[in-house]
Structure 1
Amino acid sequence: MIAHNPSYAFSVLRFDDGSIHQQLVSFVKRVSRQQPRLKPQNGLVSVDQTESTHRDIVFLLDSSDEMQNDFKAMLGFVERMVEKLNVDTGKDRVSVVQYSREPSVEFYLNTYKTQQDVSDNVQIMRHKGGRPLNTGAALQYAKDNIFTTSSGSRLQQGAHQILVLLTGGRSHDDVRNAVKNLKGIGVMVFVVGTKNADTLEIQSISQEASHAFFVANSNDLSIMEQQIFSAIEKGETPAIKSVSDDPNRRDIVFLLDGSDDSQQRFSNIKDFVERIVANLNIDANRDHVAVVQYSNTAEIHFNLRRYPTEDDVIDAVRGLSHKGGHPHNIGAALRYVKDHVFTSDSGARLHEGVPQILILLSGGRSADDIETPVRILKEMGVITIAIGTNDADTLELQTISHEPNHALSITDYEELPTAKQDVMSLLRDAFHHVEKTAPTKDFEFNRESRRY
């Protein structure tokens, strides 16, 4: 959740694993090639293609009681990083902050102007101690007190703003608002986790689920490294746009029951989708629609970027063939839309602040586990509307839906027209939920591969 992109989140057994520091240095070195220059306009940050080679780098170190034995390794990590930077030329500036219950600045971005001075002062740092671990407060502190002009930040001049967080535990407080605030001013956040760090928490609002890994030991670092460099080579840039204020700018995914049980009513299902689409404002810059069918497996019929007009979408819906299959694996279907539909490659505009909406039609109880994919979709910020027949499980629908009133019950798919007005009302309210539904991640842990 905290890192800017999941490819910037690392987990290691110990901070004295020397092989990780070179990897992180490589990231920081490459930032100037991948990050657009940022200029404030009317109080907001916008993208300018002018490239900057200046970086303001803040190290935020977990110095809680639990990390006392690891503190020396963390300082060594920072030292090796600083050795690779361009502090002496003035291109790079460095600040270090410790935190546990409260944050404490060691030195600001404009305190030291040479690599030797920075390194010398890192070496004499003493472990702060304290508990619990308030990462949210520390991130907000960095935003309010370090990434400022008075502390040496050159954000106004277009210098890249970078935060490197080293943490060994789960945050005791909420990090979402602080993360949102940092990203709002264009700060790129890198995270290295160890010990009891929550791997889900340290992930960012990811654009590609395959870019995040859990490193169980040093032998796994080479596997992650290749993926990281692949992401860099693609020239990914952070999304720092504000939340969309257009109520007709939504990404809407229909997840349709295509099981054997729905075959006789599939024409009713298609008619319902048509009726909803006819009330949207489909356009390249407004509402986008995707359709997926599921039963024991899921398959996409068209993604969010496929059809730019209402007529195109309706024609595609009318041409849908019933999938068939048994049983209802709703958990797998939810995971499928997370991995294959709510992604940048498929046209999702999550990183532009566009509401991400899932409309699920269910004619039966799920035969597989829904808990994990439901949680991850909610953490991503997806707003789910669940519509179920009498054969569906009411409690399950409420669990899947964004809020209890987003779960709608009908007797049979033939009664879908009666749910249309409720669905349209929820769709109109969707963009008001975006601020409250802070997206946190776009991934899921795979125990076999230890990959996200």
Structure 2
Amino acid sequence: MDIRFSVSCTDNVGPSAAVQTPVFNFMHVNKPIEFSGTAQMHKIKQMHVCTIGSQILAAITDFKYLSSTICNKNTKADIILLVDSSESIRPVDFQKMKDFMQLIVNRSDIGADKVQIGLLQFSSEPQEEFQLNRYGSKADLRRAISGIRQIKSGTMTGKALTFASSYFDGPKGGRPRVKQYLIVITDGEAQGIVREPAETIRNKGITIYAIGVLYANNSQLVDIAGSQDKVFFEDNFDSLTFLEKEILFEICNPGDSCKRTEVADIIFVVHGSRSITDLQFQGIQRILEAVVNDSVVGKDNVQFGAVVYSTNPQDHFSLNMYSAKSQVREAISNLTTMPGLTFTARALNFARERFGMAYGGRTSSLSVTRILVLITDQPTSPSDRPNLPAAAKSLKQDGINVFAVGVDEASRTELEEIVGE
């Protein structure tokens, strides 16, 4: 299956706006460095290619989609949400789908001349909740979404697609010469044919995004969306939270060439000596988990590895050790600090080798983007400092993209040297 990294990247860093996490306050490196709160992390380099997970970028700096509204005032779009309401979906997961729909509303600029949103449910039979032009405010849309009730029957997706087609037409609120989108969410295999009714919708110029959760059939999702790059697959309903930015970025930036990469090997290299507090280390773990949550994890998609270092580096898990998002998150939660000094060059050399095939890395011939994310709170120890230029050069020669993030007393000069500034 295809993996997409949603990014809103440009060749120049845009206006700074702090991004809050439980521990860290992030801002651009090209702004004045102002320490506040528990710690301050700074973006040292922005890669000029769209090849990294949106949450890596979000953790280090702010991008267009991090504002409260992704679809700005210049955006016009008709969006129909077609959601599976079958009995296989637990009530708690149905609520998570409603939460996802609320996020779509919250991050859109709603109005008759802006973004319109309609909602249909389906089970054995499709059911209208509201048409595109029914509600003209976020408050009304949120209230309507909160009030829907699960149908709890079969999964007749094809019938639902046929039903949905007319909801983009003028009599039901559709607007001519406005981009139109159908977002389908389902957790299971469709009963019946989906290719033909979906093709009919796409032939009207409507873009379909298909979101599959748990037991959804990927082949059917491709039949619905028309191509793999418009299919999103998650292993649980919690992960829907991280999709709304990606989908809305594509809807609201249709001409942006900066989209999504297919596969990546990502290794986190985290300084974990006793100089970093437990609270800071927990904050770093939350960042790493956010990157994982925004990715489709798998041996054919995105692989993650993690190295924690002090005087010596320790390989906590290699790239091919885990193939499920939940497994990677659990492994990250089990990372621990270790006694010792700060031998960053040694850790970088160690991590570079972990991109090799012996440790689960994939060859460059497979067009795999390789990314190393370094997070440290200290300059490297004096005895290790002379080794830093060679370590940075080796990473560059191997084609490994590096992000370096400094916390508290980290050396900005060293981090810029590591990323090649």
TM value normalised by structure 1: 0.39
Structure with bigger gyration radius: 1
Please, what TM-score do these two structures have when normalized by structure 2? 0.42
